[in-house]
Amino acid sequence: MKKRYNFLLGLFAATVIFSGCSQQTAVAPVEIVPESSVVESSVAESSAAESAAAGSSTAAAEASSEAAAQGSSAAATQSSAAGGSTTGSSTTGSTPTGNIAATSSDINATPAKKTRVVDPNNLIRSELTNEWIDGSLKNQRPVAVMVDNELYALPHYGVNDGDVVYEIMNSTENNRVTRLMVVLKDWEYINRLGSIRSVRTTNFMVAAEYNAILCHDGGPFYINDYTSKAYVNNLSGGFARFSNGKATEFTEYVTYDSYTNTQKGQTYSGLGTRIKNAKYSTEYNSYYPGKHFNFSDNEFKLSDSNSTVSATTVDLSSVFPHNGSKLFYNASTGTYDYYEYGEYHKDAATGEVTTFKNVILQSCSFYNLDANGYLTYNVVGSGNDGYYITNGEAIPITWSKGSETALTVFKNKATGEEITLNTGKTYIAIVPSDTWSQLTLK
């Protein structure tokens, strides 16, 4: 087994700042995004076979050297043959604010943003947000995109388009760095989303709750047991590479349309082509477990019918110390602004703060897969604690999930009834149970 190369912080000293204190043995500060000695199937420009099939000798050469360095997992690359590259010519809250500046300028600009023309006579409510959307999307299944949440991967593009965003500890190493999983239904208008990164075992079970097509770039060999499951549809690697001046692993983004990188002289297939070539259904299939959330059409406060606790600040910085994640209630918008690395998180595509109407926190145990930080959350189970938070208030909840493909059901701990959400986007943090007591609501 060949050891995955670590990128030295010295290469990026001018732009990278670390925050947070480790609760475990600290990772040597000269390493950035350490992925341990476990072989990950990096399918960035995916495999030589995929690139050759796509007609790109340049991409094949790059992929061949990357696979040689890291060891490519056949199971993780099986979906990647569906695409590849071809050669070709808001307002903030009351706490301190600021931008997380881009570490470098993109040489190839993001394509012009497209928007859907909505038929006002054919509107339905989204099953993910309860917001009004075009009726043509009624049965369209979502995608779930793995987004790198290391500081050097910022600024993110397209995260604000997500309907549901998960923040999950990616490793017990590196101060428990997190990764985002962005679930969105109207993926036909993804302009640029990412940068994307590898997937973990837990994500397959969570994405299955939405019958989502999981988009990522490889993962540790532990995912092989999941990529072969009948309920899994995934696309691994081969997405658009933007010349943003960063290391290769921070340059890959999901686009819907094909994208041509003029500096590299390569054209990359977009999500639409990738899904079509993989022969995946764009509509919900037999593994769809049904609508995930109950929503209220009318705005409500939890205190209208519950005993609540104040939650204008959701402090997860002791839970996710690497990222220092927090959410601050913004009374002017009635939503929670996401904050990490000492700054409000802003989407580079719009400059707007990433914000959510609903916040759900799940306390969840996990087990380590090895000594290098890889883990799997015990997301299947019952009798677990949590919080539902909206409009500056929180109530204790419980959650349960009956199988890998079943919905996670959230219930009011006091009444035992399934909770109802306010209309809007939702942030869900899967909080390690060993640090659950360290989160702060105030």
pLDDT category at 77 given cuts 50, 70, 90 is: very low
Q: Can you name the residues that pair with 309 across neighbouring β-strands?
A: 394
Residue in the structure block whose two tokens are 């890889």: 374
Q: What share of the chain is helix, strand, coil (3-state, %, to 5)?
A: 20, 30, 50
Q: Measure the CA–CA gap between 90 and 83, rounded to whole angstroms.
A: 36
pLDDT category at 107 given cuts 50, 70, 90 is: low
For the segment 186-208, what is each residue's pLDDT rounded down to a tens digit? 999 999 999 999 999 999 999 99
Non-local (6+) Cβ contacts of 302 within 8 A are: 308, 388, 390, 391, 393, 394, 395
Mean pLDDT of 217-235: 97
For the segment 416-437, what is each residue's pLDDT rounded down to a tens digit? 999 999 999 999 999 999 999 9
pTM given for the model: 0.80
For the segment 157-197, what is each residue's pLDDT rounded down to a tens digit? 999 999 999 999 999 999 999 999 999 999 999 999 999 99
pLDDT of amino acid 29: 28
pLDDT at position 120 over 90: no
> Do 7-277 and 294-441 share a fold?
yes
Which stretches of 349-419 are DSSP H helices? none
CATH architecture of 7-277: 3-Layer(bba) Sandwich (3.50)
Q: Which CATH number applies to 294-441: 3.50.90.10, 3.40.50.2300, 3.40.50.300, 3.90.170.10? A: 3.50.90.10
**Cβ proximity of 320 and 167 under 8 Å:** yes
Q: Can you name the residues that pair with 310 across neighbouring β-strands?
A: 393
Candidates 69, 3, 9; CA nearest to 33 is 9
pLDDT category at 57 given cuts 50, 70, 90 is: very low
Please state the domain extents for the chain: 7-277, 294-441
Looking at 41-55, 255-269, 424-438, which range is the least confident one?
41-55
Mean pLDDT of 316-342: 98
Looking at 63-72, 137-146, 220-229, 415-424, which range is the least confident one?
63-72
pLDDT of amino acid 108: 61
pLDDT category at 288 given cuts 50, 70, 90 is: very high
Mean pLDDT of 111-136: 88
Average pLDDT, the chain: 81
pLDDT of amino acid 240: 97
Share of the chain above pLDDT 70, in %: 74
Higher pLDDT, 71 or 296: 296
